[in-house]
Structure 1
Amino acid sequence: MNSEEKKFFQNLCEICVSDYQVLNSSDLVSALISQVSRLKGIDVPFIRGILYVQIKNRRRNYAHSFNIYKGQVIDAAIYGHALLNKNFQELFPLYVVGNEPEHIEYSVISEVYLDAQFKFNEDFLRNIIYKIDNYRATNIKRFNEIEDSRKKNLFYYK
């Protein structure tokens, strides 16, 4: 992944995390990333898999959806696990683009093809691309369940 592609995915993930609910939304966020990327002419498959997190001397696993681009993980919904696991929320980053932290590992189970994905309105997807192209980096901080629930829900953008 070159620096221009990485910046595109970082901006996309930041928009997802700052504007939309991430708690229990990994499927929707992954579908959004896949469909926005497809509209830009980039193939970024939506993947169902397992997220492994090393916590002290134990390895916990979570069913999780994410995206893959050129063998690197793009995950804008990982922070949803921090909201559910407050005792070790500092182990979950806000999002992952490229190299994941050492204590986190992803395992692929299957790809979710476009026919089986939640489909977003093309105007909505184009609006996201416009936001990415004109995005100015903001300082996104960690948030809690209440703040997340005040964000837009992706189910409304069909």
Structure 2
Amino acid sequence: MDTNKKRFLKNICKYCVSNYMVSNSSPIMSSLIYHICKFLDMDSMAVQGIVTLHINEFSSKSFAHCFNVCDGIIIDASIYEYALINRRISHIIPMYIVDSIPYNISYTVQNEIPVDYRFKFSNKFVNNIINEIKFVDDIYLGKFNLIDDAKKKNLFYCR
């Protein structure tokens, strides 16, 4: 994957995390990333699977999760939701994942989210997001909590 494509995917994740609620939003967030990529003729499957957080050598937690796969790499803009609900282990969870997966996190892809079950977004909404992302070189992300997350826009109502 070329660096421009990877940088754009990172900016999509940063944009989503900074503007939309992360908590309980993995299916809708992965659908949004799918639609943005589709709009730009990039193949980014929205998939259902399992994310496993390896806390230490004796303990791990697994969660059902939705994320994207593009050119064989993982794109996950909603992984931070597990830091919000598991504050004890928030230090091991990144804000988002594009390509390089931390050693303590593993993904298992189970199946692609069927087209009928993906959230739909208007072309105008997706185009507005793409235009906003294109004009932002770098989006700053800082750690946040459930209260800060709840103040963000809910993607369910934005479509």
Q: Counterpart of 1:17 in 2: which secondary structure?
A: helix
The Cα of 1:39 is off from its aligned counterpart by: 0.4
User: 2:17 matched to 1:17?
Assistant: yes
- Separation (CA, whole Å) in 2 of partners of 1:115 and 1:6: 28
- Paired position in structure 2 for 1:4: 4
Q: What do residues 111-146 of structure 1 show as CA deviations (whole Å, max 9, x unaligned)?
A: 013332110111000001101211131321110000
Q: Counterpart of 1:102 in 2: which secondary structure?
A: coil
- Paired position in structure 2 for 1:53: 53
- Paired position in structure 1 for 2:28: 28
- Paired position in structure 2 for 1:67: 68
- Separation (CA, whole Å) in 1 of partners of 2:139 and 2:45: 27
One-letter identity of the residue aligned with 2:101: E
Native 8 Å contact 2:11 2:139 kept in 1:
no
- Paired position in structure 1 for 2:138: 137
- Separation (CA, whole Å) in 2 of partners of 1:54 and 1:119: 33
How large is the Cα RMSD of the aligned pairs?
0.9
- Separation (CA, whole Å) in 2 of partners of 1:16 and 1:128: 9
Q: Counterpart of 2:44 in 1: which secondary structure?
A: coil
The Cα of 1:70 is off from its aligned counterpart by: 1.1
Q: Unmatched 5+ residue regions in structure 1?
A: none
- Separation (CA, whole Å) in 2 of partners of 1:71 and 1:123: 29
Native 8 Å contact 1:20 1:154 kept in 2:
yes
The Cα of 1:99 is off from its aligned counterpart by: 1.4
Q: Counterpart of 1:152 in 2: which secondary structure?
A: coil
Q: How many percent identity over aligned positions?
A: 38
Q: Number of matched residues? A: 158
Native 8 Å contact 1:30 1:76 kept in 2:
yes
Native 8 Å contact 1:121 1:157 kept in 2:
no
- Separation (CA, whole Å) in 2 of partners of 1:132 and 1:3: 16
- Separation (CA, whole Å) in 1 of partners of 2:35 and 2:139: 24
One-letter identity of the residue aligned with 2:55: I
Q: Counterpart of 2:15 in 1: which secondary structure?
A: helix
Q: What do residues 64-116 of structure 1 show as CA deviations (whole Å, max 9, x unaligned)?
A: 10000111000000000100000111111000000100010000011013332
User: 2:151 matched to 1:157?
Assistant: no
TM normalised by structure 2 equals: 0.97
